[in-house]
Amino acid sequence: MIQRTNQACKYFPCHQDLEDCTFCYCPFYPCREEGLGKYVYSSRLKKNVWSCKDCDWIHQIKTVDRIYRLIRMNGRELRKDIPRFKSRNKTLSDKHTGVVVLGHGSRRKEANELIPRIIRDLKRTMGLPKIYPAYLQLAKPELGESLERLAKAKCRRIIIIPFFLFVGNHVSRDIPEIIEQEKKKYPDVSFIYTENLGEDSRIADIVADKIRENMGV
């Protein structure tokens, strides 16, 4: 986190009970929120101006943390004009690539609805039409069925993403064994088995956000 206060500033402390100097100038000025400020007449400018000299809302730690959380949640949209980010997020039109998002599976129908929902978002944002769900057990389609569907669609590269948090027996043993069996059926197809979701450091950011949300900061 950025240093909370800048005691070297000649105006420090500019507000009573100052907690955070991240936003020296409020990005929401003039907010025109009653209780945070009011219009006063400026003899220098010869007009009414918004005065918030007694407002410390933007200098509260919980306010700054909330703003940073919202920035992180919308990072993709905020970074979309960066040339490097643009090139990395171009839609992919590789008609010979297929993707399987593989979940555990559940007897509860609603528990199996998350992966198809994610796939709909992926198709829209990435431009890859051949992304299919699969489940290891208790639900359909099974992994072999989705792989067969992609192979029949002339995919020559299939990326299999295990939608699992932990590297348990399913991730480390059961899924690789199924993939090895499928490789024998489709020798002309390249199978790529990715790391599971729990291996991604961004999981910690999601957990941190949940903690902050429920602490009211």
Per-residue pLDDT of the chain (217 residues; tens, 9 = 90+): 445 777 777 777 777 777 888 888 888 888 888 888 889 998 898 899 988 888 888 888 888 888 888 887 777 777 777 766 555 555 555 789 999 999 999 999 999 999 999 999 888 888 889 999 999 999 999 999 999 999 999 999 999 999 999 999 999 999 999 999 999 999 999 999 999 998 787 888 788 878 877 776 5
Is residue 209 a part of any domain in this protein? no
Is residue 168 a part of any domain in this protein? yes
Tell me, yes or no, whether 68 and 167 share the same domain: no
Is residue 138 a part of any domain in this protein? yes
Is residue 210 a part of any domain in this protein? no
Tell me, yes or no, whether 5 and 82 share the same domain: yes
Tell me, yes or no, whether 106 and 133 share the same domain: yes
Is residue 208 a part of any domain in this protein? no
Q: For residue 1, what pLDDT is reported?
A: 41
Q: For residue 149, what pLDDT is reported?
A: 97
Tell me, yes or no, whether 181 and 142 share the same domain: yes
Last residue of a domain, one of 90, 106, 141: 90
Tell me, yes or no, whether 76 and 99 share the same domain: no
Is residue 35 a part of any domain in this protein? yes
The residue segments making up the domain with residue 145 are: 92-199
Count structural domains, the chain.
2
pLDDT tens figures, 176-186 = 999 999 999 99
Tell me, yes or no, whether 35 and 58 share the same domain: yes
Tell me, yes or no, whether 7 and 84 share the same domain: yes
**Exposed/middle/buried for 48, CB within 10 Å: 0-12, 13-18, 19+?**
exposed
Instruction: Write the CATH number for 111.
Output: 3.40.50.1400
Distance set, CA 57 to CA 54, 124, 169 (Å):
9, 38, 50
Tell me, yes or no, whether 57 and 139 share the same domain: no
Quick check: 196 and 136 in contact, CB under 8 A?
no
Quick check: 128 and 94 in contact, CB under 8 A?
yes
Q: For residue 2, what pLDDT is reported?
A: 45
Q: For residue 63, what pLDDT is reported?
A: 87
Measured over the CA atoms of residue 36, residue 211, residue 20 and residue 70, the dihedral's sign is negative
Tell me, yes or no, whether 188 and 109 share the same domain: yes
